[in-house]
Structure 1
């Protein structure tokens, strides 16, 4: 049978159910991470043993444990199965949330947040999505999960302040516990059981390929970028809620009045630039401009004073830049990474992201405690401009998309010949056929791709 290409058929109902339910698990879990971000710095400072450093550490402690445990959880899922390992990680997340909810000290909350991060199942959720979807629809499943992450962040920034009025800090952690428990219900009641767990080079880290990924200067620039972006985000929100409360005199529960219009404008404002970057193929200049925008926004916070509208404009600029960069960076990883090493490249990238969040919270907390809010914004701006200097030397990303095709049963000799035929197809930039996986990993330029010749290249596998 000739392999089916992704532009031939839609996802099946089972694939759509798997993708949506796993996206829901991801969203419920990420809500638990982000709900406290817009309010924690204000609510936690009243705890008897709170210091600025400990508050920053409580915000970001999950990043360190998440970075440490995400690779072991991936390895354990290969050995013990996806669902049991995801369940174990979600139970850890629930326990961490309960520890934080029961704590009347900042140290207890730090312990709870650390335990939350130790349930590092993000990569395992991706692997289960790969088990439950055909290769030709894998990118669609990952896109749905990516959308859920963005939605959870936006919802958290608006809902966190509103919910804090009704339930306070402890109540927020109890709500997070309930959301994580609900994700366990979704896992066992809605997510289908995979027929088998397989290794997926496009979603899973392979230790044998780490050295190759870590030698790639272009990938390392992007890893440095996501480290900087999440450092800047976490550092900024160690002090921004305090400024809104203390200088602008806006009660914490009313901060959503600021965040809601800011997010709506920021999301709409980034759309034309995403089109310019992707459709008009101006990725590098748009990318560099928005890194600079994030740095300039932090410099603007330094001279803010007590201006509500100044904060509104600066937050809008900051989140326009953040949202675009957050969406663009994984896309660039996908474009640059070799087609059969995308999972390994994303594993290193995710580790850098979580370490950045930890460095941002802990670093900003220490700086704020010793020097004040102005120095935190200087810290974030310096990091942004250091990132800009590193990114300025990157190569303009090729506008390529990943395409996976199941070629199960192919032999080693056939795979080599097929790879050569695929590279001869107009629009195919890279092609790696792995007989062991039974998958052809392709990088294609969709504007130039000759779909009929691509089908003909696979036709010899029919029978």
Structure 2
């Protein structure tokens, strides 16, 4: 089992620098959300539908290219794929910054999304860290994503207030260049690219993952969550400006307050979900909150105080789901298929963002703010209806254990591992000389597992 030693200097450098690369890229993507609906109206040819397309356009190319780029990194190396992706992202930001029409911004956002490096970054983390520290390194990246979202919600309106959309996109390009500097001169180069089923897509696991009903529910949910996010960011900035009378350059404090309150409000629910093993109840409650907050948006559009309250409640539900769904996926994904399940999950997430931008823009153009909020409520309710049918997830943790070569071909090994108390699933992958396990840490007999893996 994982040892309790500390991360090496190289591991800490790899984890922190890759977390920063991820954060810079996501910061560039997120900064546009709170400002494009308001400032985009000044672009030539802008319509609600096209503004919605600009908001969600990055998700389309991201969804198509994320898994292929991850597989490409297995062939040509992680760093070339990451460098290429960051160059595309920077070029997309520069293209959008020079655009005078909404079509130019859409093209820039599409190009930004083509820099789909998430899978390659995760695979590089696996290459550069040992088994016992990989979860810690992945957690650092997860925290960097959450932090970048919070910073973007505040920075976007501030930067746009100073220099408009041009400045926002110029900053996103600059962040991509900073990421390039880190990848080329700070991130260590791996000695070899590992085939790691917890971090990468495995062809053999792809179709079983797509047919898994529990994972299908989860994939539908993450698509709906990000569709709602994009649609809300078409309606809420306009409501703040046009109905509540808050200038766009002052929207930052609304998002800052909402994110701070939502962060502290969601922590007790996350603890309750994990420690009391009530994940299903918490997830369904957060989905229902997303549905119920939509009528509040509609009723409060003319009152700044109530509108801010609705934004706070929305972010409580959104951030709670954004934090718990990856944990739910880890519990539901079969042993040895977590990387594949995460790849499909992320693809659905970005596809949902693309759909949400288009749908939100189209509905706003036809039915106004009310139509967007009704549409988001219906999406959330459809997810809740599907979510009710899921079972309580198994409360298990994924492990990858290197195996002695003498045990790799032992056909009885999976059976002996499964006989250890607390082990729910076990898959031995001979070509990796490793076993992938799903274990209940509360009842796992670690000493018995160690004896099976290392009889000596």
- 1:30 has 2:22 as partner: no
- 1:387 has 2:390 as partner: no
Cα distance in 2 between the residues matched to 1:16 and 1:404: 20
> Which SS does the other structure have where 2:187 is aligned?
coil
The 8 Å contact of residues 364 and 371 in structure 2, kept in 1 or not, is answered as yes
Runs of 4+ in structure 1 off by over 6 angstroms are none
Give how far 1:16 is off: 1.7
Residues 222-247 of structure 1: CA deviation (Å, up to 9, x unaligned) = 00000000000011001100110111
Moved more, 185-194 or 132-141: 132-141
Residues 125-178 of structure 1: CA deviation (Å, up to 9, x unaligned) = 011111111223222221111111111111111111112122211011111100
The 8 Å contact of residues 427 and 449 in structure 1, kept in 2 or not, is answered as yes
Which of the residues 431, 438, 442 maps onto 1:436? 431
Determine the structure 2 residue equivalent to 1:405: 401
Which of the residues 421, 434, 445 maps onto 1:450? 445
Give how far 1:309 is off: 1.6
Q: Using a 3 Å threshold, how does the CA distance of structure 1 residues 305 and 193 change in structure 2: closer, same or farther? A: closer
Determine the structure 2 residue equivalent to 1:233: 229
Cα distance in 2 between the residues matched to 1:17 and 1:173: 29
Which of the residues 327, 337, 345 maps onto 2:333? 337
Which of the residues 305, 311, 334 maps onto 1:309? 305
Q: Which runs of 5+ in 2 are unaligned?
A: none
The 8 Å contact of residues 412 and 435 in structure 1, kept in 2 or not, is answered as yes
Give how far 1:413 is off: 2.8
Which of the residues 109, 114, 119 maps onto 1:123? 119
Which of the residues 405, 417, 420 maps onto 2:415? 420
Which of the residues 154, 160, 165 maps onto 2:161? 165
Which of the residues 198, 202, 210 maps onto 1:202? 198
Moved more, 9-18 or 325-334: 9-18
Determine the structure 2 residue equivalent to 1:298: 294
Moved more, 5-14 or 284-293: 5-14
Cα distance in 1 between the residues matched to 2:159 and 2:2: 42
TM-score by length of 2: 0.98
Moved more, 434-443 or 59-68: 434-443
Cα distance in 1 between the residues matched to 2:446 and 2:76: 40
The 8 Å contact of residues 213 and 219 in structure 1, kept in 2 or not, is answered as yes
> Which SS does the other structure have where 1:403 is aligned?
strand
Residues 70-105 of structure 1: CA deviation (Å, up to 9, x unaligned) = 122112211111101110111011111110011111
- 1:12 has 2:5 as partner: no
Q: Using a 3 Å threshold, how does the CA distance of structure 1 residues 9 and 421 change in structure 2: closer, same or farther? A: farther
Cα distance in 1 between the residues matched to 2:183 and 2:352: 29
RMSD of aligned alpha carbons: 1.2
Cα distance in 1 between the residues matched to 2:215 and 2:311: 29
> Which SS does the other structure have where 1:381 is aligned?
helix
Cα distance in 1 between the residues matched to 2:123 and 2:443: 30
Q: Which runs of 5+ in 1 are unaligned?
A: none
TM-score by length of 1: 0.96
Which of the residues 342, 349, 357 maps onto 1:346? 342
The 8 Å contact of residues 136 and 403 in structure 1, kept in 2 or not, is answered as no
Determine the structure 2 residue equivalent to 1:71: 67
- 1:265 has 2:261 as partner: yes
The 8 Å contact of residues 35 and 156 in structure 1, kept in 2 or not, is answered as yes
Cα distance in 2 between the residues matched to 1:91 and 1:395: 43
Cα distance in 1 between the residues matched to 2:126 and 2:163: 38
The 8 Å contact of residues 139 and 402 in structure 1, kept in 2 or not, is answered as no
Cα distance in 2 between the residues matched to 1:60 and 1:20: 29
The 8 Å contact of residues 18 and 192 in structure 1, kept in 2 or not, is answered as yes
Cα distance in 1 between the residues matched to 2:414 and 2:431: 14
Determine the structure 1 residue equivalent to 2:139: 143
Give how far 1:248 is off: 1.1
